[in-house]
């Protein structure tokens, strides 16, 4: 498609601002702030999108305007004057690459916690607790309302002083729309009851901000137009509210949301992930655009260019939010412009980015280890200006394929040896659950990139030391992964079935199954969902005090739905010790760590998830022949410098191992291992 005919490459005029195409990244908080300020890491993250050709990047999801709206997840603190120079540095950096930049501002209301920083009470229109953040709010008073309106105006002024092209008011799940919704507003004063009263606070905020920033500054709203539940706003309510706000004459665009976010289950529909339909609220956003005749933005699982192009071509959207897609690949627009759509790294809907904010304190893409690490990790791998080396990679899972991709992109000669008949490693196991087959995009994209760069693959090759040495390598990278770990059992190790066996089809699900999960991450839950779908009578036992503690809030609801639908039993605080056979049944013995009691379960099948043990035989066979003895200089690795360890000057090659060949971790760790080692080879 030519530039002239591609809907995504057409400019869009928003007030005085011309956006050069229709690609945008909507506001989100990646938790990259330092002391509440958007410093270098934050700036580099958004500059990368600007380098990648995006028209508009929005920063600061839920940037807070008041002290009694403390950070929920690293939010920018707009109530402090010192934020202005940091905003200015960021806007200058983004503008230098031809993109526009806006910021989202809010008061979180009840959607935060009181036990942070100044320990001020959380407030809301009414004393209705939010389940997700668990605070019991104070009912907002008249002086609170006056103060917060002033805070909005001052915060907007700081954003303008920081060079922003505009601001967006967050109006879903936060204080402003907590006034709108009958689920959260039980008032009987001038701020409750009829629609005019429930929108009064929003209108007062808009008026105060407009007076402070002037008539030309761009203001928009990311607002809910249907809360999609019986307690909240209907579609008719939402469109009426949108029209009421537009009637003030203060807004320049609408960014449409459908759903509510006061529980993790509800949030998982607003931010839908793997296994859910593409762009589920796109038609709804188009209906709002038709009803309001106003510029409309929208983002919700628009993860591919074809869907984005359809959204603009059919008049549903004016600007397309591909937010998680740009976390996976910040250069989407550039690749479209250059006719390289096939090279776009796909968003696979894993939800690791948003879920990790809560349990890891920073957003990271499951398969782009450069995102959020722009200061040290490259999004575009540069060709080496040194000699082209012979590199042998053993293993074609995520770690091995990333190593091969990076090495070949640098211009090295790469051969991959893989024992199986195709690439994928443990990702193939995960994809055994139909809902999660999208995860194969991690493998498919790397295979395409490796083929583009001339990597040689040798499948069905169980490599031994002689096979590697025959290739006369300069560098050997062991990415052989691991095998299911059942060694913790005191007895009956040969009797248990692993989650790999279930998901790969090597073992059929039993009629009555005990699934023991001592990993607490996706593998156990994936097997649980598979077993539930197969009709097994299922009990899930774990030594943890909660189920799957490392599965984040946008992912666990869909697992829970499956296991509750199957009426699975959940048993916490039980540690599997051993398994024995009695007749045609298995008897599992489980220990309670707290009262030291033991219980037994009689089942047809015991399925175990306890991570993996490294496949390390080849590594140790090659180690004596290597120059570095397998050693990695961690200081150099962390600083992004090349490795220079030499323990054996007579060695023939440098040896490294990565991913689960080191220890049981996850896909992101495997890919990060590969990128940061190989980028400097």
Closest CA to 389 of 680, 189, 152, 114: 680
pLDDT at 662: 98
Confidence at 360, pLDDT banded by 50, 70, 90: confident
Report the alpha-carbon distance of residue 315 to residue 465 in Å, rounded.
Answer: 60
Q: Which residues contact 256 (CB under 8 A, 6 or more apart)?
A: 222, 223, 225, 281, 284, 285, 288, 289, 296, 297, 298
497: β partners: 607
Report the alpha-carbon distance of residue 119 to residue 595 in Å, rounded.
Answer: 37
Closest CA to 675 of 404, 338, 390: 404
Give the 3-state secondary structure percentages of the chain, helix then strand then coil, rounded to 5. 35, 20, 45
Look up the pTM and report it.
0.97
- Percent with pLDDT over 70 in the chain: 100
Residue 677, token pair as written in the block: 């080692």
Mean per-residue pLDDT over the chain, rounded:
97
Write out the H or E segment, with its range, that includes residue 23.
strand 23-25
- Percent with pLDDT over 90 in the chain: 98
pLDDT at 280: 97
517: β partners: 609
Report the alpha-carbon distance of residue 481 to residue 614 in Å, rounded.
Answer: 6
Average pLDDT over residues 149-160: 98
Asked if residues 308 and 323 have their Cβ atoms less than 8 Å apart, the reply is: no
Res 1 pLDDT > 80: no
Asked if residues 355 and 553 have their Cβ atoms less than 8 Å apart, the reply is: yes
- Between the CA of residue 73 and those of 264, 305, 321, what are the distances in Å? 15, 30, 21
- Rg of the chain on CA atoms, in Å: 27
Considering all CA atoms of the chain, what is the largest pairwise distance in Å, rounded to the nearest integer? 84
Backbone angles phi, psi at 358, to 5 degrees: -80, -40
pLDDT tens, residue by residue, 2-52: 788 999 999 999 999 999 999 999 999 999 999 999 999 999 999 999 999
Report the alpha-carbon distance of residue 407 to residue 675 in Å, rounded.
Answer: 9
Confidence at 57, pLDDT banded by 50, 70, 90: very high
Asked if residues 158 and 81 have their Cβ atoms less than 8 Å apart, the reply is: yes
- Between the CA of residue 343 and those of 241, 323, 331, 332, 335, what are the distances in Å? 42, 18, 10, 9, 7
Task: For strands 218-224 and 166-171, give the pairing.
Answer: parallel
Q: DSSP label at 396?
A: -
pLDDT tens, residue by residue, 278-289: 999 999 999 999
Average pLDDT over residues 615-634: 98
Report the alpha-carbon distance of residue 373 to residue 330 in Å, rounded.
Answer: 13
Q: Which residues contact 360 (CB under 8 A, 6 or more apart)?
A: none
64: β partners: 77, 106
């Amino acid at each position: 498609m030519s530039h002239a005919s591609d809907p995504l490459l057409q400019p869009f005029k928003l007030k005085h601002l011309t956006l050069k195409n229709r690609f945008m990244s909507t506001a989100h908080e990646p938790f990259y702030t330092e002391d509440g300020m958007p410093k270098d890491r934050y700036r580099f993250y958004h500059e990368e999108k600007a380098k990648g050709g995006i028209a508009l990047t929005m920063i600061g999801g839920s940037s807070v305007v008041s002290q009694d709206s403390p950070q929920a997840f690293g939010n920018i603190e707009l109530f402090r004057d010192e934020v202005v120079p940091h905003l200015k540095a960021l806007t200058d950096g983004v503008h230098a690459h031809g993109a526009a930049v806006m910021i989202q501002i809010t008061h979180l209301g009840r959607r935060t916690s009181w036990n942070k920083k100044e320990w001020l009470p959380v407030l809301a229109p009414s004393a209705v607790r939010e389940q997700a953040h668990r605070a019991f709010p104070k009912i907002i008073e008249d002086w609170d309302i006056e103060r917060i309106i002033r805070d909005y105006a001052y915060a907007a002024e700081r954003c303008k002083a920081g060079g922003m092209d505009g601001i967006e008011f967050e109006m879903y799940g936060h204080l402003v729309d907590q006034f709108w919704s009958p689920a959260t507003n039980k008032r009987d004063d001038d701020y409750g009851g009829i629609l005019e009263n429930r929108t009064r606070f929003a209108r007062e905020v808009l008026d105060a901000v407009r007076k402070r920033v002037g008539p030309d500054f761009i203001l928009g709203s990311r607002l809910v137009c249907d809360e999609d539940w019986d307690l909240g706003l209907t579609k008719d309510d939402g469109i009426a509210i949108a029209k009421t706000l537009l009637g003030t004459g203060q807004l320049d665009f609408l960014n449409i949301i459908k759903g509510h976010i006061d529980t993790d289950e509800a949030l998982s529909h607003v931010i839908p992930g793997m296994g859910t339909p593409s762009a589920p609220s796109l038609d709804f956003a188009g209906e709002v655009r038709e009803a309001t005749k106003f510029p409309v933005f929208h983002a919700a699982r628009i993860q591919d260019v074809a869907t984005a192009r359809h959204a603009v071509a059919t008049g549903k959207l004016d600007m397309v939010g591909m937010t998680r897609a740009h976390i996976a690949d910040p250069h989407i627009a550039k690749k479209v412009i250059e006719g390289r759509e096939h090279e776009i790294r796909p968003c696979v809907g894993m939800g690791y980015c948003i879920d990790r904010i809560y349990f890891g304190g920073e957003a990271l893409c499951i398969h782009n280890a450069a995102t959020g690490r722009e200061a040290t990790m490259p999004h575009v791998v540069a060709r080496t200006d040194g000699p082209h080396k012979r590199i042998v990679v053993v293993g074609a899972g995520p770690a091995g394929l990333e190593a091969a991709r990076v090495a070949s992109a640098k211009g090295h000669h790469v051969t991959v040896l893989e024992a199986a008949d195709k690439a994928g490693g443990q990702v193939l196991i995960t994809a055994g659950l139909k809902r999660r087959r999208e995860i194969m995009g991690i493998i498919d994209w790397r295979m395409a990139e490796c083929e583009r760069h001339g990597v040689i693959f040798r499948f069905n090759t169980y490599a031994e030391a002689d096979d590697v040495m025959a290739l006369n390598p300069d560098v050997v990278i062991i990415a052989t992964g691991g095998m299911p770990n059942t060694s913790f059992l005191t007895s009956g190790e040969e009797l248990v079935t692993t989650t790999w066996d279930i998901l790969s089809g090597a073992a059929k699900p039993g009629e009555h199954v005990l699934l023991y999960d001592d990993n607490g991450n996706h593998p156990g839950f994936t097997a649980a969902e598979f077993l539930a779908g197969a009709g097994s009578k299922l009990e899930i036992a774990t030594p943890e005090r909660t189920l799957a503690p490392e599965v984040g809030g946008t992912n666990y609801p869909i697992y829970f739905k499956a296991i509750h639908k199957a009426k699975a039993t959940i048993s916490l605080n039980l540690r599997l010790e051993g398994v024995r056979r009695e007749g045609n049944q298995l008897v599992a013995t489980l220990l309670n760590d707290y009262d030291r009691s033991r219980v037994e379960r009689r089942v047809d099948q015991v399925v175990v998830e306890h991570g993996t043990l490294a496949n390390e035989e080849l590594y140790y066979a090659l180690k004596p022949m290597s120059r570095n003895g397998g050693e990695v200089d961690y200081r150099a690795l962390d600083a992004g410098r090349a490795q220079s360890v030499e323990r054996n000057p007579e060695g023939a090659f440098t040896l490294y191992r990565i991913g689960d060949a080191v220890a049981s971790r996850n896909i992101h760790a495997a890919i990060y291992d590969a990128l940061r080692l190989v980028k400097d080879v």
